Structure 1
Amino acid sequence: MKCECCHEAEATIHLTQVIDGEVKKLNLCQVCAQKNGIDLNSPISITDVLLGLGNQQSESTPPTDESVFDLSCSRCQMTRAEFKKRARLGCPECYNAFMGELNAITHAMHHSRQHVGKIPARQGNEARITAQIAALQKDIETAIAKEEYETAASLRDKIKRLKEVTSFTQEGESDDA
């Protein structure tokens, strides 16, 4: 079986990935595997799978020059290969440098572009309302920038109602204590 990247050498590395019930198989030669950041001397990490294989457009097309291009952080000089190996960022600037990779990881893990963590049961409703208020405030700013003042006023009223609900809920909880 030939390597799916270079289409020349014999494939000696066979990777299988299951995403949403769909099985993807990738067959690589050792040279192409190393070029894509897969370390053959250590166990393969989930970061290698998500970053190295998630960027390819299809199983049959070789990677473009852009996907092979090695990014690095301008502040701490961490390279893409180091990030993939460590699975940790080096400094705050790394978030900007590796934004594409972070988005790919988050989307692969959460099936969404936004990380959604766990919320304690007691604070769940309050946290959701706080997030809604923050989103509505951003919408107000957008509406004002577009000079859509009626929309902004409507959004302001929604925020006011949500704040009333949270203050009512908090008063009820303090009465119980």
Structure 2
Amino acid sequence: MLCDDCGRKEAVVHITQIGANGRVEKHLCESCAAGYNDFVPVQQDGRHVSVDDFLRGIFGSAQGQENKASGGTGELSCPHCGMSYRDFRQTGKIGCAACYDTFRGQLEPILRRIHGSSVHRGKIPHRSGGTLELKQTIAQLSQQLKACVEQEEYEKAAELRDKVRALKQELQQKEGGQDHE
């Protein structure tokens, strides 16, 4: 869309003014928009405020309230790729694998709402499904075993240890006798 004033450049500022005369829309290029002092706010010291600063002031206050509600004082960003949570909200895409850890608090509720869970449970291929499932079960039982030992629940720990041993033997048989501990 071309600028309503000069008719040469692409319109980048769109202004809708509603008044006594009804609704008036203006589509302006950047240079023509700079000439409209009626629409560009001016600070008390007489300096003009850019449209970006004006909008950042309006929407930034909502962002600030959001940060206070989430307990953050500054904007959270990924240490690996530098992506901010605001960038994620605008694009809907995560920058890297480290973003999942960085934004875990904000992403978990979203993932639960969309997928019903925040843990990925993908399909298991048929040819490796049996051993993969066994490995996952062994890992879970090993974690439970460690927790039981830490809590000094030795009887339950002994039961879990026996289950882990049996599953490891079964795994070795399925994989052809290879040792995978």
Aligned to 1:85: 90
What corresponds to 1:153 in structure 2?
158
How many angstroms does 1:154 deviate by?
Answer: 1.0
**Bigger CA drift: 119-128 or 88-97?**
88-97
**Residues 67 and 75, structure 2, Cα contact 8 Å, conserved in 1:** no
Note the aligned Cα RMSD (angstroms): 3.2
Seen in structure 2, the aligned counterparts of structure 1 residues 125 and 74 have a Cα distance that, compared at 3 Å, is closer
Distance 1:123 1:110, change over 3 A: farther
1:123 and 2:128 are equivalent in the alignment: yes
Mapped contact 2:134–2:167 kept (Cα < 8 A): yes
Q: Which amino acid aligns with 2:77?
A: C
| Structure 1 residue 83, shift from structure 2 partner | 1.1
TM superposition score normalised by structure 2: 0.51
Give deviations 1:93-141, integer Å, cap 9, x for gaps: 4333310232123313331231111221111121111111001111111
The 1:149/1:164 distance shift into structure 2, 3 A limit, reads: same
CA–CA distance in structure 2, aligned partners of residues 80 and 126 of structure 1: 38
Q: What is the rounded CA distance, in whole Å, between the counterparts of 2:112 and 2:173 in structure 1? A: 36
Contact 1:106 1:115 in 2 (8 A): no
**Identity value in percent:** 33
1:72 to 44, 58, 76: 76
For the pair shown, the structure with the greater C-alpha radius of gyration is 2
1:136 counterpart letter in structure 2 = L
Give CA-to-partner distance per residue, 1:15-67, whole Å, 9 cap, x none: xxxxxxxxxxxxxxxx9xx95xxxxxxxxxxxxxxxxxxxxxxxxxxx89516
In 2: Cα distance, 1:110 partner to 1:157 partner = 35
Structure 1 residues 147 and 66: CA distance shift in structure 2, 3 A: same
Comparing both chains, which one has the higher relative contact order based on Cα–Cα distances under 8 Å and sequence gaps of 6 or more?
1
CA distance in 2, matches of 1:117, 1:71: 33
Q: Does 1:113 align with 2:118?
A: yes
Letter in 2 for 1:152: A
Amino acid at match of 2:94: L
Q: Does structure 2 conserve the Cα–Cα contact (< 8 Å) formed by 1:71 and 1:79?
A: yes
Deviating 4+ runs (over 4 angstroms): 67-71
The normalised TM-score by structure 1 is 0.52
Deviation at 1:74, TM superposition (A): 5.6
State how many pairs are aligned.
114
Q: 1:161 to 1:103 in 2, by over 3 A?
A: same
Superposed displacement of residue 91, structure 1? 4.7
